[in-house]
A and B are shown apart, each in its own frame.
Chain A
Amino acid sequence: MKKSLLLITIFLTLGLILHALPSVGQDGEEEAEYPTYPIIFTKPLKAVLFDHKIHVEEAGLSCEDCHEEVFPMEAGATQENEDFNMESLYNGNYCGTCHDGETAFASNTRCATCHIGVMGWKRLTQKTEEAEEKGEH
Chain B
Amino acid sequence: MFKGFAEWLKNLKNEGVEHISVEERRAFLKLGLVITGVYAGGTLLSVVSRVREVYADIPEYVGHYPYKPHYSMVLRTDRCIDCERCMEACRKTNHVPPYGWRTRILEQHFPKGPGEWERRFMPILCNHCNEPPCVRACPTKATFKDPKTGIVRMNIKKCIGCKTCMAACPYDMRYFNEEKRAIDKCDFCWESRLSEGEFPTACAKACPAGVRIFGDLSDPESQVYQLVHDPQRAIWVLRPSMGARPNVFYTIN
Contacts and interface: CB of A to CB of B under 8 A. Distances in A.
B119 A113 contact: yes
A112 B121 contact: yes
A111 B79 contact: yes
Contacts of B83: 45-46, 115, 117-118
Interface in B29-46: none
Interface in B65-119: 78-85, 105, 107, 118-119
A116 interface: yes
B82 A118 contact: yes
Contact of B208 (A45, A113, A117, A120): A45
A112 B84 contact: no
A112 B80 contact: yes
A119 interface: yes
A118 B105 CA distance: 10
Given A46-B83, A111-B80, A117 B118 contact: no
Contacts of B121: 112, 117
Contact of B85 (A45, A110, A112, A120): A45
Interface in B202-253: 208-209
Contacts, number: 43
Given A46-B84, A117-B84, A119-B107, A110 B118 contact: yes
B119 A116 contact: yes
Nearest to B107: A119
A94 B118 CA distance: 23
Instruction: Tell me the interface secondary structure of chain A in the complex.
Output: helix
A117 B118 CA distance: 14
Nearest to A123: B107
Contact of B107 (A45, A113, A117): A117
Nearest to B209: A111
Contacts of B80: 111-112
Nearest to B208: A45
Interface in B107-142: 107, 118-121
Contact of A118 (B84, B120, B208): B84
Contacts of B78: 111-112
Nearest to B85: A45
The 7 residue pairs across chains A and B that have the minimum distance between CB atoms: A117-B82, A115-B81, A112-B119, A45-B83, A118-B84, A111-B81, A118-B82
12 contacts: A45-B81, A46-B83, A111-B79, A111-B209, A112-B80, A112-B120, A115-B81, A115-B82, A117-B81, A117-B83, A119-B107, A120-B82
Interface of A: 45-46, 110-113, 115-120
Interface of B: 78-85, 105, 107, 118-121, 208-209
